[in-house]
Amino acid sequence: MNQVEETLRQEVAKLLEDGTIDVFVGHEAASLPLKTSPCFVRSPKEVDRLVWNRICTSNLATYLPQLFKRPVGLKGEWTPPKVGVVAKGCDSRSIVGLIKEKQIPRDRLFIIGVGCEGMIDRHSVGRALGVVGLADAKVDGNSVQVIGTDGREKRIDIADVLAASCRECQHREAVLSNLTVGEAPSSAPEVSHYANVAEFESKSPQERWEHWVGELSRCIRCYACRQACPNCYCEECFAEETAPKWLGVTTDLSDVFVFHLGRAFHQAGRCVDCGACVAACPQGIDLRLLNQKINKDVEELFEAQVSLSLEEAEALSSFRMEDDQSFMTEP
Amino acid sequence: MLEMTLDKSKVQEFLRLLGQNRRLFAPVKDRMGTKFSEVADPSLVCLDGLNTNLSLKEVVFPQWETLYTFEEDQANEVKLAAQETLLFGARPCDARALELLDRVFTWEGIDDPYYLRRREKTCVVALACNTPGEACFCSSVGGSPVGEVGADALAFDLGKQLYLRALTERGEALLKEASTLTEKATEEDKQAVQQAAAEAEKQLQPVPIPEDLAALKESFDAEIWEDLGQKCLGCGTCAYVCPTCHCFDITDETKKGVGRRVRSWDSCAFSLFTLHGSGHNPRTTQAARYRQRVLHKFLYCPENFGEAFCVGCGRCITNCPAGLDLRAVLERLGSLAKVT
Ligand code: SF4
Ligand code: SF4
Ligand code: SF4
Ligand code: SF4
Ligand code: SF4
């Protein structure tokens, strides 16, 4: 057990014992190697389920809004629970966003911030293995020792299988917390911010089109990307609305494009680049490129990044006289 | 039954020959391991992977299809012609899943013409597994890494050659088409096959499957569902990658009086799955939806079709973004079933 994990468990036990929180949302080990699962701890006796490691990839903010929803059909009084959550930089920014969008109440949240050195992308490990599966893996310092289902062993540098979002992450510590655990993260981002977008922008329109046709023809409309995204909390998504019906149910490119472009626009000025959509996709589609393009535009047009504090107004939900207006057309 | 061997250097030629008169589907390399896809060029076929990341149900039960088209008040049938199709290198779990899907789409004597038109033209050559994947548990749910159910022929990878065994008349006819390339299997080959089969079965970890249906019924209000359901994100991944999940939705798409009626995959994990026109939703929580997925497979299907609708392919486990593992769920359910 590492130091952070130990302290985290102790702190959570205390919070549950003294009634500061009713439930804590963290990560626990999953049965497959290099995978964790979100975990809801309600008693101090259960804190040993909590883990902290290089595979705590899920953005836990996604699980918060549902905890504050009044159970359907419940009669009489209901008090929303007091919820604790462990947050990396990205989780904390999503939490800030959700608080500002009034999906979760700040005063019923206890956030434990943890500095993050970046999470391993399981898909990248899979790609390093080729067509065989991952039988076992052990993270050891800056590398991970993997064993394929064919019995072959391989040592991989974590730097080579880091999630793309983590590679470029500029906010590795929680931007909002009640308590922080562990040391400040050491490593600085390796790759310059928006490197992927810049590269994509340098391509010809034809190449860009071909790229997305290739990517989106893989999409099976499972909506894992949307469901894993903390910003996609809508009770009824536009993709499934029937009146009006914005898109069809097929995997025809036109339907798939409308879904992904629509979702990307709904993320404008809201996406914190946590990479949850990319990690969730069973087809390995890099949706991040789409959202990062919009993030880059927001940053360039409004000199603002998404959800860095509770106080500052978000770029797309506020208006300043000096805001860029070049995109406006004459009425 | 016909038993033969094919030198591995001739696999491409073999597939080219068989692919002349039919559509050929086989595993090819993909960024997610391998995928089952239609192949024009047999040199792309990859038989070294685990089961494909997506199942092969798409071939007989596509993600979406047009049932009929309409114009004002006039409906037009779609032609139900399908081409002869060969599924080569399907893993035994996937082949068995086809046999389960058959039961749904012919349930109580009602045939689904859309499914059957493809299925009836489909010939399956399964490839036995020498090394199971990390989440495989076929042998615990009545299957086997060398299982024959649902296949017309079964192949074994013996290193330098493929051993092929016809299982049905259709399989025998198929193999005969390529008899110029194959040789009769020797006693030695047959022994090698038996050994490979024993080896493969040994590698699988047994998973206890709750078979006491009455006890499973009792579990309906158990805490385990809330416990697991709170992790579930409510996506369609597990159902869409599952070779036996078969729920679909029917939608009309109209533009200025002209339109089509489309059927498309659906998943019980979606919150809209049971939403009524009135706005009422009988499954209000993700826990109820997750319970439906598991109980449908392990309680309602045994009641309706005499067998659990899970072939142990492990896809829902490797792909679940919330790290939910059906094997662990079954284990917990099993212990629950024993106590109650
Ligand atoms: S894609 Fe848009 S409508 Fe759908 S859930 Fe996300 S934010 Fe809501
Ligand atoms: S998770 Fe991937 S396959 Fe599923 S809808 Fe999103 S992009 Fe498509
Ligand atoms: S579940 Fe069994 S048959 Fe299917 S791929 Fe795994 S070992 Fe092979
Ligand atoms: S894949 Fe996992 S998260 Fe998605 S619906 Fe299935 S169990 Fe829930
Ligand atoms: S339930 Fe899971 S393991 Fe069983 S057949 Fe479906 S995808 Fe495979």
Residue B6 confidence (pLDDT): 97
Rounded Cα–Cα distance for residues B154 and B96 (Å): 12
Q: Whose CA is nearest to atom 4 of ligand 1?
A: A237
Residue B339 confidence (pLDDT): 45
Could you list the pLDDT tens digit for every one of the 340 residues in chain B? 899 999 999 999 999 999 999 999 999 999 999 999 999 999 999 999 999 999 999 999 999 999 999 998 899 999 888 899 999 999 999 999 999 999 999 999 999 999 999 999 999 999 999 999 999 999 999 999 999 999 999 999 999 999 999 999 999 999 999 999 999 999 999 999 999 999 999 999 999 988 888 889 998 998 999 999 999 999 999 999 999 999 999 999 988 889 999 999 999 999 989 988 888 888 999 999 999 999 999 999 999 999 999 999 999 999 999 999 999 999 998 877 554 4
Q: Does A246 touch chain B (CB under 8 A)?
A: no
Whole-number Å distance, alpha carbon B286 to ligand 4 midpoint, is 10
For the ranges A134-138, A258-262, B74-78, B211-215, which has the lowest average pLDDT?
B211-215
How many helices (H) and strands (E) chain A has is answered by 12, 8
Number of independent structural domains in chain B: 2
Helix (H) or strand (E) holding A271: none
Whether B27 and B45 have beta carbons less than 8 Å apart is answered as: yes
ipTM of the complex: 0.95
Same domain assignment for residues B138 and B244 = no
Residue B337 confidence (pLDDT): 59
Rounded Cα–Cα distance for residues A122 and B183 (Å): 43
Name the average pLDDT for chain A. Answer: 94
- The range of the structural domain enclosing residue B164 comes to 3-62+76-202
Q: In terms of DSSP bridges, do strands B183-184 and B161-166 run parallel, antiparallel, or are they unpaired?
A: unpaired
pLDDT, tens digit, for every residue of A66-78?
Answer: 999 998 888 999 9
Same domain assignment for residues B294 and B149 = no
Q: Which domains does chain A have, with CATH numbers?
A: 1-119+170-191 (3.40.50), 122-161 (no CATH), 192-331 (no CATH)
Same domain assignment for residues B145 and B241 = no
Same domain assignment for residues B196 and B241 = no
Same domain assignment for residues B167 and B255 = no
Residue B340 confidence (pLDDT): 40
Q: Does A69 touch chain B (CB under 8 A)?
A: no
* Cis previous bond, A244, omega within 30: yes
Residue A89 confidence (pLDDT): 95
Residue B94 confidence (pLDDT): 98
Residue B338 confidence (pLDDT): 56
Residues of B in contact with A248 (CB under 8 A): 251, 253, 262
Q: What's the whole-number mean pLDDT along residues A10-33? A: 97
This prediction has a pTM of 0.95
Q: Do the chains contact at B134 and A223, CB–CB below 8 Å?
A: no
Domain boundary among B175, B202, B229: B202
Residue B46 confidence (pLDDT): 96
Q: Encoding tokens for residue B124?
A: 């399956």
Helix (H) or strand (E) holding A151: none
| pLDDT over 90 at A258, yes or no | yes
- Residue B36 makes CB contacts below 8 A (sequence gap 6+) with B25, B26, B27, B52, B54, B55, B56, B58, B59, B87, B90
In a domain, B334, yes or no: yes
Q: Does A40 touch chain B (CB under 8 A)?
A: yes
In a domain, B68, yes or no: no
Q: What's the whole-number mean pLDDT along residues A129-149? A: 93
Name the strands in the sheet holding B74-77, side by side, starting at the edge strand that comes first in the sequence: B74-77, B64-71, B258-265, B248-255
Whole-number Å distance, alpha carbon A287 to ligand 1 midpoint, is 14
Residue A190 confidence (pLDDT): 65
Residue A58 confidence (pLDDT): 96
